[in-house]
């Protein structure tokens, strides 16, 4: 559904198409999906991770949120408070799609350090981990949200 909105299909058109289906099996799920769809998801696994989080009752995520840590601007796949979720596909590190593997890893590590030093907690997950062990992903995110909450509420 995110893909439709990203491609410029207006939400009301998607809602109208769903309404024309009538009282079919799964229509409430479809309405829920439409209600939570966004037009700025950049990958199917960002959408999938967000769907897992929403199904688990862990909402409030910004998609492709911009974070400025002068002089740099970063884009987090998913952001809630001080917790960032990054979905890392294998192509990022294949050595040909973006940059040589060692350069990609070094740049990614430098980015992550800057975010952590600014007070963000970063959860990194691969598409395979999302597919094969969603419960571990959800447990990790839940723990990071708890840690972020403790960090914010602890007196200095």
Nearest residue to 130 (alpha-carbon basis) of 56, 67, 74:
56
Answer yes or no: do 124 and 71 share one domain.
Answer: yes
66 membership: H or E segment, kind and range: strand 62-69
Cis peptide upstream of residue 71 (ω within 30 degrees of 0): yes
Domain containing 86 — which CATH number? Answer: 3.40.960.10
**Of 3-7, 63-67, 98-102, 146-150, where does mean pLDDT reach its minimum?**
98-102
Taking the C-alpha atoms of residue 138 and residue 156, their distance in angstroms, rounded to an integer, is 29
The chain-wide mean pLDDT, for the chain, equals: 89
Answer yes or no: do 52 and 126 share one domain.
Answer: yes
> Tell me, what's the pLDDT at 94?
57
Domain range for 22: 1-39
> Tell me, what's the pLDDT at 140?
98
> Tell me, what's the pLDDT at 36?
86
Answer yes or no: do 83 and 12 share one domain.
Answer: no
48 Cβ contact list (under 8 Å, min separation 6): 127, 130
> Tell me, what's the pLDDT at 8?
92
Nearest residue to 85 (alpha-carbon basis) of 7, 148, 153, 6:
148
Q: How many domains does the chain have?
A: 2
Query: What pairs with residue 124 in β-bridges?
Result: 86
**N residues, the chain:** 156
Answer yes or no: do 9 and 81 share one domain.
Answer: no
> Tell me, what's the pLDDT at 137?
98
156 membership: H or E segment, kind and range: none
Answer yes or no: do 49 and 30 share one domain.
Answer: no
> Tell me, what's the pLDDT at 42?
86
Nearest residue to 62 (alpha-carbon basis) of 87, 76, 79:
79
Q: pLDDT tens-digit profile of 20-70?
A: 998 899 889 888 888 888 888 889 999 999 999 999 999 999 999 999 999
> Tell me, what's the pLDDT at 116?
93
């Amino acid at each position: 559904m995110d893909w439709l909105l990203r491609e410029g299909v207006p939400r009301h058109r998607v809602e109208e198409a769903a309404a024309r289906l009538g009282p079919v099996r799964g229509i409430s799920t479809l309405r829920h999906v439409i209600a939570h769809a966004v037009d700025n998801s950049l990958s199917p696994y960002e959408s999938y991770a967000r769907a897992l989080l929403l199904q688990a009752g862990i909402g409030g995520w910004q998609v492709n949120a911009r974070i400025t840590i002068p002089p740099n601007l970063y884009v987090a796949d998913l952001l809630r408070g001080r917790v960032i979720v990054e979905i890392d596909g294998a192509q990022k590190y294949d050595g040909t799609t973006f940059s040589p593997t060692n350069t990609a890893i070094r740049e990614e590590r430098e980015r992550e350090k800057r975010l952590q030093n600014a007070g963000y907690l970063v959860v990194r997950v691969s598409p395979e981990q999302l597919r094969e062990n969603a419960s571990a992903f959800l447990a990790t995110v839940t723990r990071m949200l708890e840690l972020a909450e403790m960090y914010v509420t602890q007196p200095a």
